[in-house]
Amino acid sequence: MSETIHRDARAVILPAFDTLDFHDIMVPFIDAGGCSVLIGETRSEYVARRMSGDRIARESRQTVTAAINGLRRDQAGLIVAVDQELGGIRRLEGLTPPLPTLREATRLPADELEGSCFETARAAKELGVTMFLAPIGDVVVGQNPWLEGRSLGTDRREVGRIVSAFIRGIQRAGVTAVTKHFPGFIDLASDPALVDVSMQSSLSDILENATPFREAIRAGTRAVMAGPAPVAAIDPENAACTSAKVIELLRGEFGFDGLVISDDLDAPATMRAQSLIDTAVTALSAGVDLLLVAGGPHLPELCDGIIDAVRKGRLPEKRLIEAANRVRHIASQSQ
């Protein structure tokens, strides 16, 4: 295969790391075509919805900036993503002015909320961060242990207002918003990161509560993340982020033409007993542009699997090129 395809296969991968110790893996990955990294959190921090005291004491603005600058090299643009949510996980805790609490967000006028989010994002951009995996647009009207302490409420119009202000604020500061988790997981029995679970809600209920995603697109969100579990009313076999039908809904009825990102590809509800490589190929074939995966020494093997799928006709080369170019476009805006 051509050198371009090898670089394209790396461009569509968003590797996640739970520490700043990623240079040995990421520097050669970026040199070979990668252009994204997620500075993530540990599982315990994810569950606690806050950064550990040890991390807050150990990481400073200087150490984070140095770690990011160590990746930039001659890269034309680099996506540096973090979870920085209004109601939940705040990876930059202690490093930037805090986002409003959910209670504060519901009380603030839209322009003041936008201004507060702008200040957080401006400080994040000074660190080198260019993408927030936020806001959360899911309107949970039933149960959802996965989004407990993270979703923005049950009033879809109010959630839409908050989501729109968040997007306008952070993107005005030059940070890309990733609205998640399409089409909105309004009721989910278990955590898809732990078990294989599907959303059983009716399509009419899902679409009725999808107002925040429509508002996010109107507000100009540059990216949307598709969710990690199947939506039975649309596609009972494939997780939202590996489902062509879900992505067609996002592109068609919702009219979104920006970057589509997967949720964690190695979640049980996403893989559904497939290999990581097969899950990645399925997601790309479905129309996802950027694949969120755990970072590690397996990345070259994953990229080789994507290249092999193109070689064997399982993944159209045109689709891979389209996805890689969308990622590079967002990366180029991150300078």
Position 76 scores a pLDDT of: 65
Position 152 scores a pLDDT of: 95
**Residue from 67, 80, 66 nearest 34 by CA:** 80
Condensed to tens digits (0 to 9), the pLDDT of residues 147-156 reads 999 999 999 9
Q: Would the pLDDT of 75 be above 80?
A: no
Q: How open is the CA angle 319-129-223, to the nearest 5 degrees?
A: 35
Query: Residue 15 belongs to what H/E stretch?
Result: strand 13-17
Complete DSSP assignment for 151-168: S--S-HHHHHHHHHHHHH
Q: Is residue 209 part of a domain?
A: yes
Position 78 scores a pLDDT of: 95
List of residues 6+ apart from 238 with CB closer than 8 A:
230, 244, 245, 246, 272, 282, 286
State both tokens at 191.
């955590």
Q: Is residue 15 part of a domain?
A: no
Condensed to tens digits (0 to 9), the pLDDT of residues 77-131 reads 899 999 999 989 999 999 999 999 999 999 999 999 999 999 999 999 999 999 9
Please give the model's pTM, rounded to 2 decimal places: 0.97
Q: Would the pLDDT of 314 be above 60?
A: yes
Mean pLDDT of 27-44: 96
d(CA 9, CA 32): 10
Position 192 scores a pLDDT of: 97
Q: Is residue 160 part of a domain?
A: yes
User: Model confidence at 74, in pLDDT bands (50, 70, 90)?
Assistant: low
| Placement of tokens 């839409």 in the chain | 160
Condensed to tens digits (0 to 9), the pLDDT of residues 47-72 reads 999 999 999 999 999 999 999 999 98
Structural domain including 187 reads: 48-73+84-295
Mean pLDDT of 10-18: 98
List of residues 6+ apart from 136 with CB closer than 8 A:
85, 86, 87, 88, 147, 150, 151, 152, 180, 181
Q: Is residue 284 part of a domain?
A: yes
Q: Find the distance separating the first CA and the last CA of the chain, reported in whole Å.
A: 30
Q: Is residue 11 part of a domain?
A: no
Q: Is residue 43 part of a domain?
A: no
Q: Is residue 335 part of a domain?
A: no
Q: Number of folded domains in the chain?
A: 1
User: Model confidence at 333, in pLDDT bands (50, 70, 90)?
Assistant: confident
List of residues 6+ apart from 299 with CB closer than 8 A:
10, 13, 15, 25, 29, 34, 293
Q: Would the pLDDT of 3 be above 90?
A: no
Q: Is residue 10 part of a domain?
A: no
Helix (H, G, I), strand (E, B) or coil at 304: helix
Residue 200, domain CATH: 3.20.20.300
Position 1 scores a pLDDT of: 55
Partners of 81 in the β-ladder: 38, 131
Partners of 38 in the β-ladder: 16, 81
Mean pLDDT of 131-156: 96
Condensed to tens digits (0 to 9), the pLDDT of residues 174-233 reads 999 999 999 999 999 999 999 999 999 999 999 999 999 999 999 999 999 999 999 999
Residue that wins the pLDDT comparison between 75 and 4: 4
